[in-house]
Structure 1
Amino acid sequence: LDDETERLIEADILARTEKKSPAPAAEVHLPGENLESALRSRYADFLQYEIAQGLFLNNQTIVVDAANGAASALAPPLFERLGASVVAINDMPDGRNINRDCGSLHVEGLQQKVIATGADIGVAFDGDADRSLFVDAKGRFVDGDATLWALGKYMHARGQLSNGLVVATVMSNIGLEIALRSRGLRLLRTDVGDKYVLEELVRTGSGLGGEQSGHIIFPHLSLAGDGLITTLCLLRAVKDEGKPLDVLTEGFQRYPQVLVNVEVREKRPFVEVEQIQKLVQETESQLGDSGRLLLRYSGTEPLARVMIEGRDQVTIEAYARDLAIVIQQTLGPK
């Protein structure tokens, strides 16, 4: 949904709340079936027989961190039905322990388990399982950028990226952009949020997009991020290529990044502040094609966020510090 449609829906909900009249309940009837188990079964069948059609995971050991959430009852049995040996952790939800020190927010436990069990791959879901992050057999963390790189190469080689375009947000590391460029692929950036990624996927007709956080969208399969679909697509790439995940992610070099928050008294457009604009232009000139500067305001706090990426950590820290000082002097609290 676009922002205006979302605003109208929210206004309607708030209006009903103020009038103390609840929104009408949805009516779903599946005669003779328990609704929850029926929907789970249908979704599992969709994953196994449509998304994973022809995918066999024999001789693969997968560690699954279900974050004590939605993937707990789905992911382990699904991968087992596909032939994998599964080691499940954090798959006992009690209504309170979802995401608690586990899942995609805390991959340390998954990394340790992959190493301890000698697994081929580890996957960490978040609580609602709409995103997934990975750990390779060497225990190394694979985020959404590295996943987009591995899948982008794989899909491009099979003619599934007809326009040679991958969509990501402004938060994706410049290393992804440089790696894709080396393969003749382009990276199109959007505002932060998977809804904006989807908008550009639909507009451009691209077949792959996502966020560093692990929301990956394959518009020909689903119009929403789905951690299980992402995992199955990555496992298919591993299987088809005959290479482990650490090899599939080779060629992607994550560039150093620094993020500085600066308190501001007002959120004037940066282009209207001459001192800021001048320093931004100078910094971007110094960074060239091997660096990136992103300057934006927080949507919820009185903060300006300075994000700089480049080859050298010390250099970009100095750039960020200089820019933060100018923002403080021109827009900071009096």
Structure 2
Amino acid sequence: MRKYFGTDGIRAVAGEAPLDKRTIFAVGVALARKLGAGAHVVLGMDTRESGEWIAATLIAGLSEGGATAEFAGVITTPAIAFLARKHGYAAGVVISASHNPWQDNGIKIFGGDGYKLPDAVELGIEAEIDAVLAEGPGARAQGPEGTALPEANEAFRREYIEFLLAAVPGISLDNKHVVIDCANGAASAVAPQLFVELKGTVDVTHASPDGRNINENCGATKPHIVAAEVKERGASVGFTFDGDADRAMFADEHGNVINGDAVMLVCARDLKARGLLKHDLVVATTMSNMGFEAALKRSGIGMLRAPVGDKYVLEEMQKNDASLGGEQSGHILFPALATTGDGLMSALLVLDVVHRSGKTLGELVADLKNFPQVIVNVKVREKKPLEGFPKIAAAIAAAEEELKDSGRVVIRYSGTEALARVMIEAESEEAMQRHSKAIADEIRAELGV
């Protein structure tokens, strides 16, 4: 049973366990011990106001454990993965809570190969964290007060931008008008500089972080915001990122939201046409729509489903030698180009398909007909096994029985928030709404806040 790590690192309200100073310091010591004496780590963060003290405390813990850290400042999560691999760091660390509100923060760790850590490695770090904490508070275990961050290496950002441009050679906006929503997050430090180098009109929005406005009425969890901007400004396409820019959502020329399923469809067809889609296969998750699966099938492309979480998608891709995978939420994986999901990379690759095809983004996804799908998020006070509650189990069973030939039922806890997610997909809108409400109501009654 995991104690600190969720599906995407350690995440909590900043200042509260396990993101209190004592535990953060212990994470730094534990990671240093696991990496070995003299290990060198690269560390970056998003724009939350808690980022600086968390980073400083973690760096102090790394130092206590015998490691050193180089600071990249405000930068995206995939940039840290890239830098760790390129420069041979023992690990890359990002202080971010991705799409969560500003009060939250987190610690994401990449191996020196640029990949997220396997579950077994995370569990080993958890055991070491407990060992450090058990050694007693000590003079420094609360985290040294007033620890200053090292000066950020600004060259890292330029290196990352050059890597993105090199990954999509000849990329151009073709004088198109694009709207970019940076979510007041890490993309704010990179996207304006990246896209200004392409030929076109670029409107950058939500790129003025103040420490508390990250993801606030903007970003990848609210893609309708950039979609409305595209329509209002008469733009050709829009992109919106989450707080650490490891995923992106899109908007077409009509102001329609284009999610990760649709992006994978566009990219899968393009890769297949160029003979680059290995085994004519895409790896998605349990949340991807059946309409997406049907559209792939019409194009002669198969689909496998992995558990939710981009690292689980990647594991399934590696097992099956797949060249494309991702999540409906906008994490898209191109392992031939990068080791982790990268929202900026996805934006460039979609622009490239639009450029080479001569079609608009809307035209490229025009035949995608999604089944009606709803996701209801229920705030919970604890994450107990749902099968232990007869009324919840009965509501789920009733939905599964009715929809077994015409829909899907996926009920899971979020790996990053105190939420139960109820996803119902059905040919019938009425059945979808009825079952999602019934299940959500039972979860709320038994486990709700």
Scaled by the length of structure 2, the TM-score of the pair is 0.62
In structure 1, what is the equivalent of residue 260 of structure 2?
144
1:134-213 mapped onto 2 (5 Å cutoff): 134-213=250-329
Q: How far apart are 1:109 and its partner, in Å?
A: 3.2
Q: Aligned to 2:164, which of 23, 47, 72?
A: 47
Q: Distance in 2 between matches of 1:301 and 1:73?
A: 26
Which residue does 2:78 correspond to in 1?
A: none
Matches of 2:196 and 2:379 in 1, distance apart?
A: 49
2:402 to 283, 304, 314: 283
Distance (whole Å) between structure 2 residues aligned to residue 238 and residue 299 of structure 1: 34
Go from structure 1 to structure 2 and tell me whether the alpha carbon gap of 1:63 and 1:262 turns closer, same or farther (over 3 Å shift): closer
Unaligned runs of 5+ in 1: 23-33
Distance 1:239 1:300 in 2: 36
- How far apart, CA to CA, are the structure 2 residues paired with 1:68 and 1:314? 38
Equivalent pair of 1:262/1:332 in contact (CA under 8 Å):
no
Q: What's the offset of the Cα at 1:300?
A: 8.8
Corresponding position of 2:39: none
- 1:209 & 1:84 partners in 2: Cα distance? 29
CA contact (8 A) 2:227 2:250 kept: no
Structure 2 portions without partners, runs of 5+:
1-116, 142-150
Q: Which residue is 1:102 aligned to?
A: 218
The aligned counterpart of 1:223 is: 339
How far apart, CA to CA, are the structure 1 residues paired with 2:302 and 2:204?
A: 37
Range that drifts further, 67-76 or 163-172 = 67-76
In 1: Cα distance, 2:224 partner to 2:403 partner? 35
Aligned pairs for 1:20-35 (under 5 A) are: 20=138, 35=152
Return the alpha-carbon distance in structure 2 between the equivalents of residues 70 and 185 of structure 1: 35
Partner of 1:292: 408
Residue pair 2:230, 2:237 contacting (<8 A) in 1 also: yes
Per-residue Cα deviation, 1:106-155 (whole angstroms, up to 9, x for no partner)? 33432232122211111111111111111111111111111111111111
Letter in 1 for 2:385: K
Give the equivalent residue in structure 1 for 2:385. Answer: 267
Instruction: Find 2:369's aligned residue among 253, 256, 271.
Output: 253
TM-score, with length taken from structure 1: 0.82
2-side partners of 1:183 and 1:17: how far apart? 54
In the other structure, the counterpart of 1:2 is 118
Question: Helix, strand or coil for the counterpart of 1:61?
Answer: strand
Tell me if the contact between 2:395 and 2:435 (Cα under 8 Å) persists in the aligned partners.
no
Partner in structure 2 of residue 128 of structure 1? 244
TM-superposition CA deviations, 1:271-315 (whole Å, max 9, x none): x99978975663244xx2x42233446669999765321211113
Check conservation: 2:399, 2:435, Cα contact below 8 A: no
SS of residue paired to 1:85: strand
Describe the shift of the 1:323–1:251 C-alpha distance in structure 2 as closer, same or farther (beyond 3 A).
Answer: same
For residues 190-213 of structure 1, the C-alpha deviation after alignment (integer angstroms, 9 at most, x for no partner) is: 111111011111111111111111
Structure 1 position 323, deviation (Å) = 7.0
Separation in 1 of the partners of 2:361 and 2:268?
Answer: 14
- In 1, distance between residues paired with 2:383 and 2:343? 40
Separation (CA, whole Å) in 1 of partners of 2:418 and 2:157: 43
SS in 2 for 1:309: strand
Deviation at 1:16, TM superposition (A): 2.4
Q: Distance in 1 between matches of 2:199 and 2:419?
A: 50
Separation of aligned partners in 2, 1:201 and 1:103 = 27
SS in 1 for 2:170: coil
Contact 2:161 2:190 in 1 (8 A): yes
Note if contact 1:265-1:332 (Cα within 8 Å) is conserved in structure 2. Answer: no
2 CA distance for matches of 1:18 and 1:284?
50
Residues 310-329 of structure 1 correspond to what in structure 2 (within 5 A)? 310-319=426-435
The answer to whether the Cα contact below 8 Å between 1:283 and 1:319 also exists between their aligned partners in 2 is: no
Tell me the SS of whatever aligns to 2:251.
strand
SS at match of 1:105: coil
CA distance 1:295–1:130, shift in 2 (3 Å): closer
Cα contact 2:183–2:215 (8 A) shared by 1: yes
d(CA) in 2 for partners of 1:80, 1:225: 22
CA displacement at 1:223 relative to structure 2: 1.4
Q: Which whole-Å CA distance do the structure 2 matches of 1:36 and 1:163 have between them?
A: 41
Contact residue 306 and residue 324 of structure 1 kept, 8 A: yes
Report the AA paired with residue 402 of structure 2.
T
Which structure 2 residues correspond to residues 111-122 of structure 1 after superposition, within 5 A?
A: 111-122=227-238
| TM-superposed deviation, 1:214 | 0.7
Shift of 1:104: 1.5
CA distance 1:276–1:310, shift in 2 (3 Å): closer
Alignment match, 1:74: 190
Cα pair distance change 1:332/1:111, threshold 3 Å:
closer
